[in-house]
Copies of this chain bind each other. A is one copy, B any other.
Amino acid sequence: MAEMASKNLTSAAVFFLLLLLDWSATPTLARVRDRHRPCKRMVFYFHDILYNGHNAKNATAAIVGAPAWGNTTILASQNHFGNVVVFDDPITLDNNLHSPAVGRAQGFYLYDKKDVFTAWLGFSFVFNSTEHKGSINFAGADPLMNKTRDISVIGGTGEFFMARGVATLTTDAFEGEVYFRLRADIKLYECW
């Protein structure tokens, strides 16, 4: 009697075991999610030089949209509310503008608050080097007067296939209305 029960149990146990093995053998099984441990973390800097009518050669960004009271050469009053800027900024590993670029930050930001500097970002980090091949896509609000602020990693391609996560931005430098440098601390919580 006990033996029969044991046999049944053995079958059941073997079934569970196979099931679990099969499950864990799947090549790209989603990792268990843990908000305290990113599956990938990287820090980069990117450098934005805004076209102001006199720096066509060096500019990496240009105003392309403005409200009725503005134009596309000078950032508008009221904390630049309504200005849309397109950019193609070099990405570096340290905070030196002249360090070799390891990729490009490409997309747009727009200023969207009248009474304090605040922006909304939609852009990608595009890599095509021996270090990194692929892109990381970002979107989110950037209340840029805060010391740090988080935006979303909404997807990725290549090496960053299907990535999701958060990037913590810090303004590392801000020089007049022409140059700023952001530090991006990218934490991915979904890696494939």
Q: Which residues of B contact A16 (CB under 8 A)?
A: 12-13, 16-17, 20
A83 to B114, CA, bound (A): 20
Mark A20-33 against chain B: 1 for CB-CB distance below 8 A, else 0.
10010011111011
Q: Which of A10, A64, A86, A87 has the most CB of B within 10 A?
A: A64
Q: Which of A16, A20, A106, A153 has the most CB of B within 10 A?
A: A106
A88 touches B108 (CB 8 A): no
Give chain A interface residues in 100-125, CB to chain B under 8 Å. 104, 106-108, 110-114, 118, 120, 122-124
Between-chain CB contacts (< 8 Å), 10 pairs: A2-B2, A28-B35, A62-B68, A64-B66, A68-B73, A84-B108, A88-B113, A108-B110, A152-B154, A154-B154
